[in-house]
Amino acid sequence: MIDQPHAQPTDCTLIAQEYLRDEPAFASSLGFGPFVQQGCGKGPAVLIGDQSEISLLGSDRVAKLDHRMALLARNGDTVLVRNRETGFETYLADCLGLTDVTFVQVDNDPARPVAEQIRMSPQLLDALAQTARENGGLTLKAYLTTGNIWRLAQTIGEMSKTCIHVCGPSPRATLRANDKLWFTQLVQKTIGVDATPPTHSAYGPAAVADLARTISRDAGQVIVKVPDSAGSAGNIKLNAELLNGMSADDTRQFLLDRLHAKGWQDSYPILVGVWDDNVSHSPSVQMWIPQKTDGPPQIKGIFEQRVQGDAGAFVGAARSVLPASVQDRLSAEAGRIARVLQHLGYFGLCSLDAVICETPAQPDMIHWIECNGRWGGVSIPMLAAAQRLPDLPAIAIVQEVLLGAVLTTEHLRRHLADLLFQVDQNEGGIVIISPCESARDISVNLMAIADTQDASDEMLAIAMRRLAAHHDGAG
């Protein structure tokens, strides 16, 4: 763990008090009855990887990533998924020792969140309530802790008459933390107005186009974002030259077409801002935010993300090798932001994404980009590795698409057999984070665990070369 410099609790407390004054729902959104508490309690866990409540992520393809939460399971736990993947479940049992985990398939209705579907199913509710009665309670651990998760906890608690814990933030804290525009304001209040790229809110199509054109006169690249989406799904990056060559009407229609093509449904505001030039690193600060009575936020690690394409899609990460002074500054600033979130009812895993911008004749500049008020592509494997091999701290993660490839979990096990982590061997190896698609253009999601960063990077590179060679040979 990185030592965190002393935060400034007085400033953070005052900022939080302002938010609580202006938005009382922060304080009132934990009221789900006598059988529900925030935290981790008695009994097994129910893990829910559903991403459908994140704007633009409600597709069958993304649902494959729901299975990542199973890596956090312990024997006796239950994992809720939209579609079961028996090959992946067999892998978890054979290689990770998860031989007593119950996988429950929920009706595959992408328009309805998994937690809501469970509440509407007497059979599934009865099973969870019975598990709670037999064990004196349950803890719900969801990828995204929304009101639907809290209402599910309330229903199970009332049926079982046991205490159901929710390991996640309040619904209002989740909503605000994952809103990129709200997060920008939080950073500017907490760290300073220069701690984010220039960022603006637009409340209509003409305003989006006008802001984009205005920004393009001074910046080389403009970014337009759906502020409550994630994983670059709602990002449109535009070169200033392109915008300067279009009329206002053409820009408006162009942006509307691009947004609608991503599944956007005319919700406002839209974020319009500067896409930073001269970015040398994209660090992500991984944190655990306990309840206020249990101490300050904890920095669990700083990772450097690898992004790809115009939208900046996440394709992997490894522990940061930035200078200690930069990591200390990242830790200090992230800790201050997290302290405000903690006062607003945030509990659980959280990560903050930033970029390091090189500036001539001046110290490098840190710009905070977004808050992931949820589990994610780094935090899930990071915690899964710590559960199994706490003495091997170096991990590397890949989440890349192999175009035209057809690979199942069974294929991965066959091609990576000698590299795969085995729970009974107590040494590093490759972990399969989520199932592959069985259709074209599959996403490979792997983690390498080793005693040094170089070793984990090399192991992951070997694994990807093998898969690429198999793909090329098959083609």
pLDDT of res. 444: 87
Q: What is the Cα 344 distance to its own chain's centre? A: 20
pLDDT, residue 324, reads: 94
pLDDT for residue 392 = 81
pLDDT confidence of residue 475: 43
Which positions of the chain have pLDDT values less than 50?
1-9, 475
Q: Would the pTM of this model clear 0.85, i.e. be above it? A: yes
pLDDT, tens only, 275-307: 998 899 999 999 999 999 999 999 999 999 876
Q: Assign domain 31-169 to a CATH class.
A: alpha beta
Domain boundaries, the chain: 31-169, 198-274, 279-474
Compute the C-alpha angle 191/189/351, nearest 5°: 60
> Taking the CA of residue 195 as centre, how many other CA atoms within 13 Å lie in the half-sphere pointing to its CB?
21
pLDDT of residue 408: 86
Confidence at residue 406, expressed as pLDDT on a 0 to 100 scale: 72
Q: CB-based contacts of 162: which residues, under 8 Å, 6+ apart? A: 35, 43, 132, 133, 136, 137, 138
Q: Which fold has domain 279-474?
A: D-amino Acid Aminotransferase; Chain A, domain 1 (3.30.470)
pLDDT of residue 57: 77
52: which DSSP letter?
Answer: T
pLDDT at residue 438 in the model: 52
Res 316: pLDDT:
80
- Given this model, what pLDDT does residue 308 score? 60
The tokens describing 264, both together, are 């956007």
What is the model's pLDDT at position 2? Answer: 39
Distance CA 346, CA 380 (A): 18
What is the Cα–Cα distance from 148 to 142, expressed in whole angstroms?
10
Could you give the CA distance from residue 112 to residue 96 in angstroms, rounded to a whole number? 31
Q: Domain 198-274 belongs to what topology?
A: Dna Ligase; domain 1 (3.30.1490)
Residue 110: the pLDDT is 73
Q: Which amino acid is at 356?
A: I
Give φ, ψ of 281 to 5 degrees.
-150, 155
Strands, DSSP E only, in 32-167? 36-38, 45-48, 78-81, 102-105, 138-142, 164-166
Q: How far apart are CA 461 and CA 398, in angstroms?
A: 9
* 60, 233 contact by CB (below 8 A): no
Q: Which among 299, 236, 304 has a CA at the least distance from the CA of 264? A: 236
C-alpha span between 234 and 267 (Å, rounded): 12
Q: What is the pLDDT of residue 472?
A: 58
User: Over the stretch 389-447, which tens digit does the pLDDT of each residue have?
Assistant: 988 879 999 987 776 667 889 989 999 999 999 998 889 999 999 987 655 556 789 99
Asked whether the domain spanning 198-274 has the same topology as the one spanning 31-169, the reply is no
**Distance in angstroms (rounded) separating the CA atoms of residues 340 and 358:** 28
| Spatial distance between the Cα atoms of 250 and 201, rounded to a whole number of angstroms | 20
Strand locations in 113-193 (E):
138-142, 164-166
Work out the percent of the chain whose per-residue pLDDT is above 70.
Answer: 91
Residue bearing tokens 């930073």: 276
pLDDT of residue 64: 77
